[in-house]
Amino acid sequence: MTTAVFFGCTFIAFGPAAALFLFTIARDPLRVIFLIAGAFFWLVSLLLSSLVWFIAVQASNKESASQQKGLLVFGVVLSVLLQEVFRFAYYKLLKKANQGLLALSQEDTMPISVRQLAYVSGLGFGFMSGSFSVVNILADSLGPGTVGIHGDSQHYFISSAFMTMAIILLHMFWGVVFFEACEKQKWLSVAVVVGSHLFVSCMTFLNPQYEGSLIPAYLVTLLMGGWAFFCAGGSLRNLKLCLTCKDKDFLLANHRSR
């Protein structure tokens, strides 16, 4: 409830994502556009799932708290599934667009590769998802109030911030893995992505027992991060070369001087 809390939580939640955006996406206009389009697709999926939830709530018994909670759980699951459906839809749209561009252009190479698109669209999904989850909370943290005055958890803000960071990174990793799996027709991988998304969301039902939700979320984030790294063509050798700035292939391929 102070500016320190506000800035701290904002930087925790959006720090990595903002850094990724600034260093890898902001310079390339094409990537920015695909990022915003990804955010738009996520938004549409949220809209649809909210619509369904809203209709269900209107049709239900508003007094019964357990029924409302049940509907909310249903809403969460539906939303997760719809998000993945829209991720697939975005993938299809990008493939079509790429094909169209290739057909039109005389060049062999596309201006943006599918892997870059996967990364950018995942980050777009992540940005939107994270923003929608946490922006209102951040705005409230600037105002007056006491956290957990009715006996709720004291760590509401900071746990929200950490959860948001995890979600944003997860969306990015899911995007990479998902697109790669779709490219290679590995439907099992797709199922694993959807399953892990459901898992992370369902673990948040355990909130405010943050051990039950944050720790699994971060474990899944690390796992997905590693998987995405290997999907995107990384390897331990690559990593070592990259970190010591000795990867000549990479430097050459990116027209960069040593």
Does 141 sit near another protein (CB under 8 A)? no
Give dist(CA 80, CA 77) in Å, integer: 5
Q: Residues 8, 75, 212, 225: which binds another protein (CB under 8 A)?
A: 75
Q: Between 43 and 241, name the residue whose CB sits nearer to another protein.
A: 43
Smallest distance, another protein to C-beta of residue 248, A:
26
Is cis: bond before 208, omega within 30 of 0? yes
Does 5 sit near another protein (CB under 8 A)? no
Q: Residues 131, 141, 196, 221: which binds another protein (CB under 8 A)?
A: 131
Of the ranges 113-121, 131-139, 178-186, 248-256, which one interacts with another protein (CB under 8 A)? 131-139
Q: Between 135 and 241, name the residue whose CB sits nearer to another protein.
A: 135
Location of structure tokens 């998000």 = 83
Give dist(CA 210, CA 161) in Å, integer: 12
Does 163 sit near another protein (CB under 8 A)? yes
Q: Between 55 and 222, name the residue whose CB sits nearer to another protein.
A: 55
Does 204 sit near another protein (CB under 8 A)? yes
Give dist(CA 185, CA 180) in Å, integer: 8
Does 101 sit near another protein (CB under 8 A)? yes
Give dist(CA 254, CA 257) in Å, integer: 9
> Could you give the 3-state DSSP secondary structure of residue 60?
coil
Is cis: bond before 144, omega within 30 of 0? no
HEC readout, 17-44: HHHHHHHHHCCCHHHHHHHHHHHHHHHH
Residues that bind another protein (CB under 8 A): 29-30, 32-33, 36-37, 39-40, 43, 46-47, 49-51, 53-54, 57, 68-69, 72-73, 75-76, 79-80, 83, 101, 104-107, 109-111, 128-129, 131-133, 135-137, 139, 156, 159-160, 163-164, 167, 200-201, 204-205, 207-208, 213
